[in-house]
């Protein structure tokens, strides 16, 4: 999902490619947090829109206050450009909040975003989750923030970028290795080695590391890329509401269930698509029935070591003509971070250009 307000660069890129509001579906994002085995949820966020009020029961109380306090503290840390080393656990520990409420709400929410354990969630740099909060506030406290789904799917964005570049784009051409010869970057592909003026490695950190691992000139970058951690996740698209609360009054767009170790979410796409379809993280819980599709991923687990590596890698950008982009370099693991990291590289390569000006309108954000 894409936030029209928290994703300024992604939104500008889509607009520049002719993908306007006509191509997006509005998704009011509500959240239910539950403990496995308990019928009553810990928290159900409100949605005062007419369509949602009928039959839906928000659950507030002390746990909701704990959750809101930590969301607010995270947003404040980001707004004040606070240290990237301040973890989610640090923010919680600095406040006199009940440990169980912190685990069942904020840590569970962070763990579900990343696919890590609830304990590991405490180690996430708070600013890495701020990207999901900052700028995504609802119009008023009882409203649900509205996010967007690209009606055509995200592949449309990639196709439009490729089309706008004309015939110079080669797809389905995996690069096998990156080397440096005579000070210039070279790519090893199926057709052999080719030299270039510049190479931008826009993959996850492990794939980037695989590509540069054999090149001694790029060893400092390789060492930094090794600092990023990823966790395996499995996601299924299905029709069975198995992981939704038993009582529909507690159904939200995102329903997160936590046990002692894991917290995984189910996203309800029904109201947007007109039929009840769910997307569930099922890495550590039972598979639902009636699965339409499933896929395995490796999701970034933001860590302080990774945040430090991202900062250090900035000073290696462009050495021997090799640049790195990707969401792991942009804070939160999101589409916005990926685009923002790419804009930073383009700025280093191209100083002027109408297209760059459109997507990089606000330099303070890059």
Ligand X SMILES: Cc1cc2nc3c(=O)[nH]c(=O)nc-3n(C[C@H](O)[C@H](O)[C@H](O)COP(=O)(O)OP(=O)(O)OC[C@H]3O[C@@H](n4cnc5c(N)ncnc54)[C@H](O)[C@@H]3O)c2cc1C
Distance CA 284, CA 105 (A): 19
Beta bridge mates, 147: 27
For 55, counting Cβ atoms within 10 Å of its Cβ (0-12 exposed, 13-18 middle, 19+ buried), the class is exposed
Interacting span for ligand X (CB under 6 A) from 70-78, 81-89, 326-334, 355-363:
326-334
CA contacts within 13 A on the Cβ side of 242: 17
User: Closest approach of Cβ 190 to ligand X, in Å?
Assistant: 11
Interacting span for ligand X (CB under 6 A) from 70-78, 203-211, 258-266, 357-365:
203-211
Choice from 4, 125, 185, 326 touching ligand X (CB under 6 A): 326
Number of residues in the chain? 366
Q: Per CB under 6 A, does 291 bind ligand X?
A: no
Choice from 117, 221, 265, 299 touching ligand X (CB under 6 A): 299
Q: Per CB under 6 A, does 200 bind ligand X?
A: no
User: Closest approach of Cβ 28 to ligand X, in Å?
Assistant: 15
User: Closest approach of Cβ 337 to ligand X, in Å?
Assistant: 6
The CA-atom distances, in angstroms, between 355 and each of 17, 149, 363 are 10, 24, 14
User: Closest approach of Cβ 161 to ligand X, in Å?
Assistant: 12
Choice from 47, 69, 101, 333 touching ligand X (CB under 6 A): 333
Identify which of residues 71 and 282 has a Cβ nearer to ligand X in the complex.
282
Distance CA 84, CA 129 (A): 11
Identify which of residues 46 and 331 has a Cβ nearer to ligand X in the complex.
331
Choice from 23, 65, 207, 239 touching ligand X (CB under 6 A): 207
208 to 247, contacts with ligand X by CB under 6 A?
211, 235
Alpha carbon distance, N-terminus to C-terminus of the chain: 21
Identify which of residues 204 and 258 has a Cβ nearer to ligand X in the complex.
204
Q: Per CB under 6 A, does 297 bind ligand X?
A: yes
User: Closest approach of Cβ 313 to ligand X, in Å?
Assistant: 13
Number of residues in contact with ligand X under rule CB under 6 A? 18
Choice from 202, 272, 277, 291 touching ligand X (CB under 6 A): 202
Q: Per CB under 6 A, does 266 bind ligand X?
A: no
Site string for ligand X, 142-181 (x = CB under 6 A): --------------------------------xx------
Identify which of residues 253 and 299 has a Cβ nearer to ligand X in the complex.
299
Q: Per CB under 6 A, does 327 bind ligand X?
A: yes
Choice from 24, 30, 66, 204 touching ligand X (CB under 6 A): 204
Q: Per CB under 6 A, does 31 bind ligand X?
A: no
Tokens of 232: 């395996």
User: Closest approach of Cβ 271 to ligand X, in Å?
Assistant: 16
The CA-atom distances, in angstroms, between 247 and each of 37, 52, 160, 275, 289 are 13, 15, 42, 18, 19
Distance CA 360, CA 168 (A): 23
| Backbone Cα Rg of the chain | 21
User: Closest approach of Cβ 98 to ligand X, in Å?
Assistant: 30
CA contacts within 13 A on the Cβ side of 115: 19
User: Closest approach of Cβ 147 to ligand X, in Å?
Assistant: 8
Beta bridge mates, 107: none
The CA-atom distances, in angstroms, between 323 and each of 144, 176, 201, 208, 338 are 39, 17, 6, 10, 14
Dihedral sign computed on CA atoms, order 348, 161, 146, 115: negative
The CA-atom distances, in angstroms, between 174 and each of 71, 196, 251 are 40, 16, 42
Phi and psi at residue 34, to the nearest 5°: -135, 155
Residues that bind ligand X (CB under 6 A): 1, 174-175, 202-204, 207, 211, 235, 297, 299, 326-327, 333-336, 338
């Amino acid at each position: 999902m894409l936030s029209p307000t928290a994703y300024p660069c992604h939104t500008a890129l889509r607009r520049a490619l002719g993908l306007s509001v006509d191509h997006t579906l509005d998704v009011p994002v509500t959240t239910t947090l539950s403990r496995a085995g308990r019928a009553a949820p810990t928290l159900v966020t409100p949605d005062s829109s007419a369509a949602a009020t009928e039959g839906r029961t928000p659950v507030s109380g002390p746990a909701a206050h704990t959750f809101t306090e930590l969301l607010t503290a995270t947003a404040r840390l980001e707004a004040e450009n606070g240290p990237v080393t301040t973890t989610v656990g640090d923010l919680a520990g600095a406040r006199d909040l009940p440990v169980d409420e912190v685990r069942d709400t904020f840590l569970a929410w962070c763990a579900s975003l990343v696919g890590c354990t609830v304990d590991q969630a405490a180690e996430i740099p708070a600013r890495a989750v701020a990207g999901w909060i900052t700028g995504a506030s609802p119009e008023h406290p009882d409203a649900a923030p509205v996010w967007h789904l690209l009606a055509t799917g995200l592949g449309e964005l990639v196709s439009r970028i490729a089309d706008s570049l004309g015939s110079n784009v080669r797809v389905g051409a995996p690069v096998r290795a990156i080397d440096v010869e005579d000070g210039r970057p070279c790519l090893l592909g199926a057709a052999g080695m080719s030299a270039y003026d510049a190479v931008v490695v826009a993959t996850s950190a492990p794939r980037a590391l695989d590509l540069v691992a054999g090149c001694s000139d790029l060893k400092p970058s390789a060492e930094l890329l090794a600092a990023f951690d990823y966790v395996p996740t499995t996601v299924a698209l299905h029709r069975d509401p198995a992981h939704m609360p038993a009582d529909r009054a507690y159904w939200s767009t995102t329903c997160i269930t936590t046990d002692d170790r894991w917290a995984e979410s189910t996203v309800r796409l029904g109201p947007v698509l007109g039929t009840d379809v769910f997307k569930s993280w099922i890495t550590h819980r039972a598979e639902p029935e009636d699965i339409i599709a499933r896929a395995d991923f490796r999701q970034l687990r933001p860590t302080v070591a990774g945040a430090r590596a991202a900062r250090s890698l900035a000073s290696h950008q462009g050495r021997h003509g090799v640049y790195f982009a990707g969401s792991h370099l942009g804070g939160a693991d999101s589409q916005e971070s990926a685009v923002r990291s790419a804009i930073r590289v383009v700025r280093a390569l191209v100083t002027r250009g109408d297209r760059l000006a459109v997507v990089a309108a606000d330099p303070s954000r890059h």
